[in-house]
Amino acid sequence: MNLTTLAGRPLLKSFITARSEGVPRGIVFTEGQEWSEQRRFALRNLRDFGFGTKTMEGKVQEEVRVLLEKFQENEGKPIQVRNVFNAAVVNALWSIMFGERLDQEEPEVKDAINRIASTFEESNILANLAMFIPIIGQISPKLSGYMKMVEEAIPLNNFMKKQIESHNKHYEEDQPRDFVDAYTDEVKNTTDPKSSFHPKHNEMLFALLDLFVAGSETTSTTLSWMCAYLIRHPQVQHKLQEEIDQVVGKERLPALADRPSMPYTEAVISEVLRYSSIVPMVMHKASEDLEFHGFFIPKDTIVLPNFYDAHFDEAAWGDPQNFRPERFLNEDVTFFQTFVITRSGELPNLVPHVGFSLSPKPFEMILKRR
């Protein structure tokens, strides 16, 4: 079996119609050559402009400093966790895409970030089903949250179009400053009409939307889950703080160079990703007939890899229902700022909100200096 045989994407007609006039565009909703081209370009150029490198580290640390200032302003007061990470995550991504930070005080920027958050917050399991069975969205558009997703597609498209137009006023051919410039160069240099980079396809808008929406939402949700778990498991938080204090200290921010010396921190992150399973199922489609472990899967069959089941498989994990970072450590234990995270009132509810992702239900936390 070719590894790409199950990498197709089902046509989510109602949403694709609202988002891109009925034609799959970008990275998340495409398949075949178009998906391969867009994904390969994105990975290469995001890396070239700093993603996963020291350059990106500096951008992330700058956003952490801004975030810590907000924490200091609200020290000892309950803060709504769901909103606290959105701006920092969006700006870290935006600086790679557009080469600059977003002005979080601009009304249209606030509006775009809020639209992304509310789309995921107001979705539920019915919205997921409506993607496959459109009549569900028609029968129950508001209850499912599906209508919210469709309604927000156009304003987000317009926001991104405006950002691209503003950015391109200072564009110089073959002198890319950032990901958007590199993409613009690729479009200008493409003459093959079959290529997804040909100007007639207008892919850039949707590729940027995919990076902006999917990248910011999943990271913010993961950080929110981490706070919830640390509140519910103070012994894990204490052990994590001890390792950070020992390796990083209290006078500087963590750096990528610290990573090999922080196995418990790595283990906590891995356990958060396992336990939260924020995207429990990813929609795929068989691009051709195939046999898999004795099962015949016809072409165009929708396939849902069940990551949640894999993350909670007792045969693999032993005690998957327990939040236990030590499961990722060997016997020899191999593999910020100074705040203590405490609860505000009731403990966070660890039963997830089921929508387009599994996100924590709203909760507040209080930060105190150590």
Tokens read off for 138: 């028609």
On the CB side of 130, CA atoms within 13 Å amount to 26
Question: Residue 318 is which amino acid?
Answer: G
pLDDT given for residue 234 in this prediction: 95
CA distance 213 to 205: 12
Between 244 and 128, the higher pLDDT residue: 244
192 in a domain, yes or no?
Answer: yes
pLDDT above 60 (res 353)? no
pLDDT above 60 (res 339)? no
Contact 335, 267 (CB under 8 A): yes
CA distance 332 to 363: 36
CA distance 48 to 320: 38
Per-residue pLDDT averaged across 341-353, rounded? 63
Distance of CA 336 to the CA centre of its chain: 21
Which CATH number is 354's domain given?
A: 1.10.630.10
3 in a domain, yes or no?
Answer: no
pLDDT given for residue 54 in this prediction: 74
pLDDT above 70 (res 357)? no
Confidence of residue 225 (pLDDT cuts 50, 70, 90): very high
257 in a domain, yes or no?
Answer: yes
Per-residue pLDDT averaged across 36-57, rounded? 85
pLDDT above 70 (res 209)? yes
Per-residue pLDDT averaged across 164-185, rounded? 92
Q: Count up the domains in the chain and report the number.
A: 1
> Which residue range is the domain that position 171 belongs to?
13-369
Confidence of residue 337 (pLDDT cuts 50, 70, 90): very low
210 in a domain, yes or no?
Answer: yes
108 in a domain, yes or no?
Answer: yes
Helix (H, G, I), strand (E, B) or coil at 283: coil
The CA-CA-CA angle for residues 172, 215, 45, to 5°, reads 35
Between 322 and 283, the higher pLDDT residue: 322
Contact 348, 232 (CB under 8 A): yes
Going across the sheet that includes 79-80, the strands are 79-80, 364-369, 339-343
199 in a domain, yes or no?
Answer: yes
Contacting residues for 18 by C-beta, under 8 A, at least 6 apart:
150, 151, 153, 154
The helix (run of H) or strand (run of E) holding residue 354 is strand 353-354
1 in a domain, yes or no?
Answer: no
Per-residue pLDDT averaged across 46-63, rounded? 82
Q: What is the mean pLDDT of the chain?
A: 82
pLDDT in tens, 68-91: 888 888 888 888 876 678 888 888
Helix (H, G, I), strand (E, B) or coil at 79: strand
Question: Residue 351 is which amino acid?
Answer: V
5 in a domain, yes or no?
Answer: no
pLDDT given for residue 122 in this prediction: 62
pLDDT given for residue 344 in this prediction: 57
pLDDT above 80 (res 354)? no
pLDDT above 90 (res 181)? yes
Cβ-defined contacts of 151-154 (< 8 Å, 24+): 151/18, 152/115, 152/116, 152/118, 152/119, 153/15, 153/18, 153/19, 154/18
